[in-house]
Chain A
Amino acid sequence: MNSIPFISKRALVPGFIILILLILLAAAPSYSSAYFVILMGDVFMYIILTVSWTIFSGPTGYISLATAAFFGIGVYASAVAGNEFPLLVVIGLGGLASFGIALLVGFLTLRLKGIYFAIFTFGLVTLIETFLRWWELNISHTIGRVVVYVDNTTVYYVMFIILVVLMLTAFIIRHSRFGLALQSIGEHEEAAAHIGINVTVVKTIAFAISAFFMGAAGAVMATRWTYIEPSIAFNPLYSFIPVLMAIFGGMGQLYGPVIGATIFTYLKEKLITEIPELYMVIFGVVMVIAILYLPDGLVGIVQKLWTRIRGGKRAHT
């Protein structure tokens, strides 16, 4: 628990597997089809959204429905600044804008009960969208913007890097005292406050960190659309789907959201091509079923089976 166990024996095998996976993924664009590169770009995006969402909402239990808002801010930042600045700067801008807004929202709403926070984040995407529409109509006098094109391979690599940075961040947080503070808040916020944790600050920072990555991802993915308008950038679907993926995958371990995101992105691809009218209904149904019957997600089920096979209990680490 104290130090990053890169050297511990238990981490050797999974660590090795992850390394191989990373190498394969890094080399993939050179030997796979354009379809694969595009699909993986999507997979990376959803993993980023899902894992960032889990960084905050997982341990604390504060359900954020603002993912689409932060993703949209990144998309919009790309549309606004993409023509004048290089991609990396735009990503930084998207990430920082989301970070800043999250700090503000967090500061205001994370001092309240969890349900008020959820409510506030739920409407945030629509709020920002209508506000920007007003702004475009009355202040900037632009309706929609054209986005600079970036080729799929670049998108792939940039998203890959963001993903790796995110996973490292998530891992470090999880094994740090900051992560412990987040878990304590989720376990019993009142007790956490009374043993010296400045709960509002801790929650807000975690929320802002997760928003940063969502904004960064948005800034990159914006290049997939050639034309951006607030109604395109801000889509509630991007709040819903990461939550679905996280819940289905399971939030107890770091890899739960990754698995959930991968499965569902692939599922989404398949469903959209075969039965486009039904795919959202199916996702909705899966969400309801997951809430009802999969409290710890897929990972939870696997863990339970594993424990039963091995016999005995394990502490939540």
Chain B
Amino acid sequence: MRILDGKGVTKYFGGLAAVDDVDFHVDQGEVVGLIGPNGAGKTTLFNLISATYAPKPGIIRFKDTNITHKKPYQICRMGIARTFQIVKIFANLPVIENVRVGAFFGESISVSSATATKESLELLEYVGLSEVANTPARDLTLANQKRLEVARALATKPELLLLDELMAGLNQTEVAEAMQLITSIRDKGITIVMIEHVMKAIMNVCDRIIVLHHGKKIAEGTPQEITHSEKVIEVYLGEDHAGSE
């Protein structure tokens, strides 16, 4: 089933098209990778889906509902959650409170305080942050802050999770752990779209890859197809797809 699709999605900033007439779709249960050189429009596309901006022109639909002009909180409650390229945690709040906010507000049905706490503790356990539940979020390492963001996003009970460069700044071990987390989330039944530069992760985890360049979609296909696509290789001239950061 198509969980997300976009038609003619475009966004201009001044005279520059950050995203230029992009058609895309995501099927339920998939892990889709979104790649492209810096400035290709990947994060902007996420911002369009999560309603930070509205596409102009273009239409985005989530499970057959037009979400083009909705507000961010509505998008979240409908079942789309995201993380951010630069981590946006609630720095001065304890780790568990960060997650509880998601549990409280992420859905249209409200939960009791006790339920929110229970769910949050379970999520912290799931991402491996149980020990630091009461630490202020700003005191966490970057890798842990990213996990916190994931936990917070999961607290909103999403059907679709947008991960923006989850692995940026992580070392080899942390990358491997992140990859495990992603597959684990996928196994829970959550559809994932991930922006990444770490090619190892993309190739191993994704079912399908969309490639953006200068705001346009230049390729789409399985990891195999993408690595053999001349267009993509050209765009990534000099980039070794078998390696990682």
Q: Looking at the assembled complex, report how far the CB atom of B77 sits from the nearest CB atom of chain A, in whole angstroms.
A: 5
Q: How many of chain B's residues have a CB under 8 angstroms from any CB in A?
A: 38
Q: How many of chain A's residues have a CB under 8 angstroms from any CB in B?
A: 24
Contact call A196/B90, Cβ cutoff below 8 A: no
Flag whether A9 is at the interface (Cβ < 8 A): no
Residue-by-residue, is A261-292 near B (CB-CB < 8 Å gives 1, otherwise 0)? 00000000000000000000000000000000
Q: Interface-forming stretch among A11-19, A136-144, A186-194, A223-231?
A: A186-194
Task: Specify which chain B residues have a CB less than 8 angstroms from the CB of A183 in the assembled complex.
Answer: 90, 92-93
Total contacts A to B, CB within 8 angstroms? 91
With contacts A180-B100, A316-B92 known, is A196 near B139, CB below 8 A?
no
Within the assembled complex, what's the spacing in Å between the Cα atoms of A198 and B104?
12
> Of B71, B81, B92, B117, which one neighbours A195 at CB under 8 angstroms?
B81
Within the assembled complex, what's the spacing in Å between the Cα atoms of A181 and B71?
17
> Of B93, B100, B134, B155, which one neighbours A187 at CB under 8 angstroms?
B93
Q: Looking at the assembled complex, report how far the CB atom of A297 sits from the nearest CB atom of chain B, in whole angstroms.
A: 15
Flag whether B156 is at the interface (Cβ < 8 A): yes
Flag whether A294 is at the interface (Cβ < 8 A): no
Q: Interface-forming stretch among B20-28, B105-113, B167-175, B234-242?
A: B105-113
**Residue in A closest to B111 when the chains form the complex, CB atoms:** A177
Within the assembled complex, what's the spacing in Å between the Cα atoms of A174 and B198?
42
Contact call B113/A2, Cβ cutoff below 8 A: yes
Flag whether A30 is at the interface (Cβ < 8 A): no
Contact call A181/B105, Cβ cutoff below 8 A: yes
With contacts A181-B101, A193-B73, A198-B71 known, is A2 near B88, CB below 8 A?
no
Contact call B104/A180, Cβ cutoff below 8 A: yes
> Of A2, A191, A193, A313, which one neighbours B114 at CB under 8 angstroms?
A2
Contact call A180/B101, Cβ cutoff below 8 A: yes
Q: Looking at the assembled complex, report how far the CB atom of A184 sits from the nearest CB atom of chain B, in whole angstroms.
A: 5
Q: Looking at the assembled complex, report how far the CB atom of A266 sits from the nearest CB atom of chain B, in whole angstroms.
A: 31
Residue-by-residue, is A232-276 near B (CB-CB < 8 Å gives 1, otherwise 0)? 000000000000000000000000000000000000000000000
Flag whether A197 is at the interface (Cβ < 8 A): yes
Task: Specify which chain A residues have a CB less than 8 angstroms from the CB of B72 in the assembled complex.
Answer: 190, 193-194
With contacts A180-B101, A187-B93 known, is A195 near B114, CB below 8 A?
no
Contact residues of B with A, CB < 8 Å?
50, 52, 71-73, 75-77, 81-82, 84, 88-94, 97, 100-102, 104-107, 113-114, 116-117, 134-136, 139, 152-153, 155-156
